[in-house]
Structure 1
Amino acid sequence: MAPAFELAQLNIALMTAPLDSPGMADFVANLARINGLAEASPGYVWRLEDEGGDATAIRPFGDDVLVNLSVWRDMESLRDFTYRGAHTEMLKRRNEWFARISEAHLVCWWVPAGHRPDAREAAERLALLREQGPGPRAFTFRHPFPPPATLPNDGKATATGANVLG
């Protein structure tokens, strides 16, 4: 049986220099490779892309903020890709390319299987996390929440009786 929910994640990064600058060249040179590794990872479902095959032109948080929006089978799949394997080498170098963001910059939430969130939905989830802290509708790696339960009577996804998808 296919899962009823998949895990969406948004991660934003504040660039220290323009994307086409020499200081960002190594980051840009690795984008296709890292995106390819994500796509080949167990549990990967989808990622937001622009016509260039990445999301660098999509800037809903400002001209100097890059967006990574993807959907995964579950938290374990996303965690494995993020913190194990080749992606970790890029994480170790993030201070070369990105400034520290004092607020939450990563948010996860459950979506119905097959749903592909857009940047607006992702921004709303990040705002919810920043305003209310981790909860069933917006959470982090450090404070994860399980997928919502499905009630057999009405089919609505719930957590403590409230529709968590709306």
Structure 2
Amino acid sequence: MSCGHHLAIYNFGIHVAPYGDPAVDGFIQREPLNFEAARRAIGYVGRSGYRGEPGPTSWGEQVFPRFLNGSGHDTGPSSLSLWEDVESLMAFSYSGVHAEALKNARNWNVRQEWPALVLFWVEAGQHPVWVEAVRRFERLADDGPSAAAFTFKQPYDPEGRPYAIDRARVKAISAANAEGQADLMQLVRGLPA
């Protein structure tokens, strides 16, 4: 994998109820634990914050995909982050604290008629802005996977070639990450779904 690039991930959903409603408390309580688990994870580069909230600087003005229109919500749960490569992002996404949240996501989010996420490469030292991430997300929804907007199921390398994920490396990273987030997993196990 080219060390001259980082992998961006943007995800988006729509909650079943507004923030503050008990129906989404499980999500709200897990969110800071997921951000901390990411920060500790192998291959994590950084994430955008949200304007007006403590934490990292927002990477531009936060915008949302067209799928939010007509939902009755002004915002939806979304995040934008950078990772060293596909394997480190996959290891974080599908194991540990984040995997536990994914398992419960159906309790908090409406059923999606759009992709859950989009992946794309950016030059190392750069970061995407929200509007670019949303544009790629909608492109994936409209046109399917390509080198410009893809998923774990059909990944590409930074040069635009189809990419075979090193599953053994994902497993090894997941195991190493588990050690670094054991305390967070203890906290998560006590939270309501």
Q: Normalization by structure 1: what TM-score?
A: 0.82
Matched-pair contact (CA < 8 Å) for 1:6–1:113: yes
Per-residue CA distance 1:81-118 (angstroms, 9 max, x = gap): 00111211111100110011112231000000011111
The 3-state SS of whatever aligns with 2:126 is: coil
Q: Normalization by structure 2: what TM-score?
A: 0.71
Equivalences for 1:70-149 in 2 at 5 Å? 70-148=81-159
Per-residue CA distance 1:43-72 (angstroms, 9 max, x = gap): 0001111223388x9453441422111110
- Select the structure that is richer in helix: 2
What residue identity is the alignment partner of 1:52?
A: P
Deviates more, 1:70-79 or 1:82-91: 82-91
What residue identity is the alignment partner of 2:105?
A: R
Query: Gaps spanning 5+ residues in structure 1: where?
Result: 149-158, 161-166
The equivalent of 2:47 in structure 1 is: 47
Matched-pair contact (CA < 8 Å) for 1:15–1:64: no
Q: How far has the Cα of 1:34 moved from its partner? A: 1.0
The equivalent of 2:64 in structure 1 is: 60
Instruction: Name the CA distance, whole Å, in 2 between partners of 1:58 and 1:29.
Output: 22
Q: What percent of counterpart residues are identical? A: 34
Instruction: Name the CA distance, whole Å, in 2 between partners of 1:99 and 1:65.
Output: 11
Instruction: Name the CA distance, whole Å, in 1 between partners of 2:113 and 2:64.
Output: 18
Instruction: Name the CA distance, whole Å, in 2 between partners of 1:131 and 1:87.
Output: 27
The 3-state SS of whatever aligns with 1:9 is: strand
User: Over aligned residues, Cα RMSD in angstroms?
Assistant: 2.0
